[in-house]
Structure 1
Amino acid sequence: MSLLRPLKAAEIVARTIVGDIQSSGLSPGTSLPSEAAMLEQYGVSRESLREGLRLLEVQGMITIRRGPGGGPIVGAVDAAHLGRVSALFYNMAGATYEELFEAWVWAESELAERAARNPDGELRAARMESFLCEHDGGDETLGSYLEEHAGFHRAVAELAGNRVLAFSLQTYGQIVTHHVAVLDDPRNLRGVLIDDHLHIARAVCNGRPRRARELMQTHLGGVVDYCRSRLAVPLDSPIEWL
């Protein structure tokens, strides 16, 4: 049974490194100790240490800078990393894009409702402030556009008051967004998305949970319709991270 499988040495050291990052309050971009220091600190073989670091790198917990002066660096807690790993499990389970879209609409709508129910009105206003006005996209790059879009959904999720839900439920949207970015140009939807974000932000800011949920459902329903018509991926095929 997988739940009872003993952890490998590499998994134990990976977990210990994450624990040390958390307990020490290390921020993204902070350099971790050298390999020699880690070998002494954790008392494992070089092979186990390197495998443990690779596990963390694949999952986005750290990045490894190559060359002189390089080494492991603390990564950011990003739902995109979890989405990338989750897509592998969904693929093996045979989960389809139609199922992904259904889960995505429900998840983001739930987060929007919870965000609007957050009892701290000042916090709601502060988190939604930057989305309460129109933005001129101008000549923005694809990367900056995706970050702006992800930033809105991240801000909503953070107001939901449950970090497990906020982090895990965002992964569905990360997979969808990645597909749109690879197979099409999501900036084609900018006018619709930004306008939708504005209305959702107002509902969250004003503490209207039912309205926030309805607006998010409508918003994502439009995106799903766009994906169905434009993405060259059979919707009954298993989910992949392209």
Structure 2
Amino acid sequence: MSAKKRPASAKDGSARPEGTDRTPGAGIPIAAGGSVLRPPKAAESVARDIVKDIRALGLRPGDNLPSEAEMLKDYEVSRESLREGLRLLEVQGMITIRRGPGGGPQVGTVDSANLGRMEALYFHLAGATYEELFEAWIFSEGELARRAAANPDAELRAAVMEPYLSGDVDEEAHDDLEVYMSGHEGFHGSVAGLAGNKVFQISFRAFGLLVAHHIAMIGDVRMIHDVLVDDHLQLARIIADGDVEQAGELMERHLRSVIEINRAQFGTKLDGDVDWL
């Protein structure tokens, strides 16, 4: 709902007293965590059980899940709760649902981009700004770079960084923006994987993928392709060499330069709250 269409009445339908309008962009207050003990709804419980079974059975992306009839029997929930639980997982990319004859649910992926999209809703409602998002991005990616360089397996560091050292990554920007962005984010994903902490890998990468999504929608990151390739090459060398502090510092400088180069494309949008594009 845009600010122009926001109703002026209070929650109970009465007119809002004059002078009580809140400052635009202030957002909803961030709770102190009072709902942490809220019991899960039936749909959330079945979604949790499905995820547990995916892990327990060792299923992989693309594997079929049981039919609706089988799930209703196994999980002992209503059809409405089961379908709502499946929709929750589908929105998060954890499963995909093929429509039509022969269709059904399949195992999806664990993708930080889906987490980033959901986080954007929270950020927007809370009134978080793009400057705050960029600050979180710089901090998190810098920490991931330090942890990647600190990975004790030198052979693994060298193997993961090898494509960015050997020239296997295309020197020319790919014409397809989606393919290009996938390759660009692949470097940062490789760094995160070396960090050795899956919680950091998933949650910290969500910030970067959210920023990348916005940059791709507003401008064209390929305009700074040469800068990205050069920075990634230097970072790959430093991480492979195991230089912890230099890896973090260079990653942070790299991201600040990306932000400054793209700042003109964001324009006044940088003055607003994080949006869900």
- TM-score > 0.5, shorter chain as reference: yes
For residues 37-52 of structure 1, the aligned pairs below 5 Å read 37-52=70-85
1:175 to 210, 213, 219: 210
CA distance in 2, matches of 1:139, 1:28: 27
Instruction: Show the counterpart of 2:69.
Output: 36
Aligned-pair distance for 1:218? 1.2
Contact kept? 1:183, 1:232, Cα under 8 Å: no
Amino-acid identity (%) = 57
- Displaced runs of 4+ in structure 1, greater than 4 A? none
- Larger radius of gyration, structure 1 or 2? 2
Deviations 1:12-45 (A, max 9, x none): 0000000111111111111111111111110100
Q: Give the aligned partner of residue 112 of structure 1.
A: 145
Measure the CA separation in 1 of the matches of 2:240 and 2:232: 12
CA contact (8 A) 1:133 1:198 kept: no
**Per-residue deviation, 1:139:** 4.5
State the SS of the aligned residue for 1:124. Answer: helix
Q: 2:123 aligns with which of 90, 97, 107?
A: 90
209-218 vs 9-18, greater mean Cα deviation: 209-218
Pair 1:136-2:171 in alignment: yes
Task: State the aligned residue count.
Answer: 242
| TM, length-normalised to structure 1 | 0.97
Partner of 1:21: 54
Higher helix share: 1
Deviation at 1:227, TM superposition (A): 2.6
Tell me which residue corresponds to 1:156. Answer: 191
In the other structure, the counterpart of 1:75 is 108
TM-score after normalising by structure 2: 0.85
Partners of 2:171 and 2:229 within 8 A in 1: no
Aligned to 2:246: 211
Residues 1:223 and 2:254 are matched in the alignment: no
Unaligned 5+ runs, structure 2: 1-33
* Correspondence 1:147 to 2:186: no
- Residues 111/83 of structure 1: CA separation in 2 closer, same or farther (3 Å cut): same
Work out whether residues 95 and 238 of structure 1, in 8 Å CA contact, stay in contact via their aligned partners in 2: yes
Partners in 2 of 1:150 and 1:71 — Cα distance?
31
Alpha-carbon offset, residue 232 of structure 1: 3.9
- CA RMSD of the aligned region, Å? 1.2
Contact 1:13-1:49 at 8 Å conserved across structures: yes
